[in-house]
Amino acid sequence: MKFVVNGISIIRRGIEIMTELEIRARVEANKKEIISLLETVKRPGIDKLIEWLCKHDYFTAPASTMYHSNYEGGLAQHSLNVYRVLKAKAEHYTDLNMPLESVIICGLLHDLCKVNFYVTSTRNKKNEVTGKWEQVPFYKVDDQVPLGHGEKSIIILSSFINLTLDEMYAIRAHMGGYEPKENWNTVSGCWNKNKWGVLLHTADLEASYLYEKHIEY
């Protein structure tokens, strides 16, 4: 989400001021790193998945509307952060036997459900300095394919590559207690089947609350 001040596009409160060129550079750098990691996955269909990511807004979408990384490119940034934290956890908990390929898939693609999920709109907000009402842009949800969260990510992923059952358990339950209460038994069931979901959930939390910021629109 960008605002123009004196001809310069910036990202507002919550993260550093960035010019349009800096925003584009960050998006492109994250895109390059993510594609490089995905290209190490040796599964049929990964090339088509990468093409799909590039065709849609995975690299430019926000990760949320009002919480973590709610700015242009936030979804890709969040996914990279989760991958990095998850990789460190998998290397620490060696007894859980989570291979690097699964770390890449679960870390980078657990939120694939958020592709084509957000749209931009505007609302009126009172300028705290001038006291005048102004139109400001913000992100809102426009879910055209309401198939859930982790479930939707699995459905999209499975249309391109084969997932292991353990990867499905992890992605399905990565929201943990943020799932609706009626889904808690499903989440704990997945975690009891395989602990990768616990690693992914805690990596998601750490990335969101320790390494990422949000913008107050």
Q: How confident is the model at residue 7 (pLDDT cuts 50, 70, 90)?
A: very low
CA 211 to chain centre: 13
Q: Which one has a higher pLDDT value, 2 or 25?
A: 25
For residues 61-77, average pLDDT: 82
Tell me if 126 sits within 8 A of 63, measured CB to CB: no
* Average pLDDT estimate for 109-115: 94
| Mean pLDDT rounded to a whole number for the chain | 87
Query: Is the model's pLDDT at 2 over the cut of 50?
Result: no
User: What proportion of the chain, given as a percentage, has pLDDT over 70?
Assistant: 89
How confident is the model at residue 17, as a pLDDT?
A: 57
The two tokens of residue 36 are: 């490089």
* pLDDT confidence of residue 12: 41
Give the model's pLDDT for residue 217.
Answer: 61
Q: Which two tokens stand for residue 149?
A: 């969260």
Please report which confidence band the pLDDT of residue 128 belongs to, taking 50, 70 and 90 as the band edges: confident
182-205 pLDDT, tens digit each = 989 999 999 999 999 999 999 999
Reply yes or no on whether the pLDDT at 89 is more than 60.
Answer: yes
Whole-angstrom Cα distance, residue 34 to residue 215? 24
Position of tokens 């990596």? 203
Which residues have C-beta within 8 Å of that of residue 59, sequence separation ≥ 6?
A: 27, 30, 31, 34, 53, 73, 75, 76
Q: What local confidence, expressed as pLDDT, does residue 6 receive?
A: 33
Long-range contacts of 123-128 (CB under 8 A, 24+ apart): 123/217, 125/217
Domain positions in the chain are: 30-210
Q: Are 64 and 58 in contact (CB under 8 A)?
A: no
d(CA 175, CA 39): 26
56 to 26, 50, 132, 160, 176: CA distances (angstroms):
18, 10, 37, 15, 27
pLDDT at 216: 66
Contacts of 177 (CB under 8 A, 6+ apart): 184, 187
pLDDT digit string, tens, across residues 142-195: 888 889 889 999 999 999 999 999 999 999 999 888 788 998 999 999 999 999
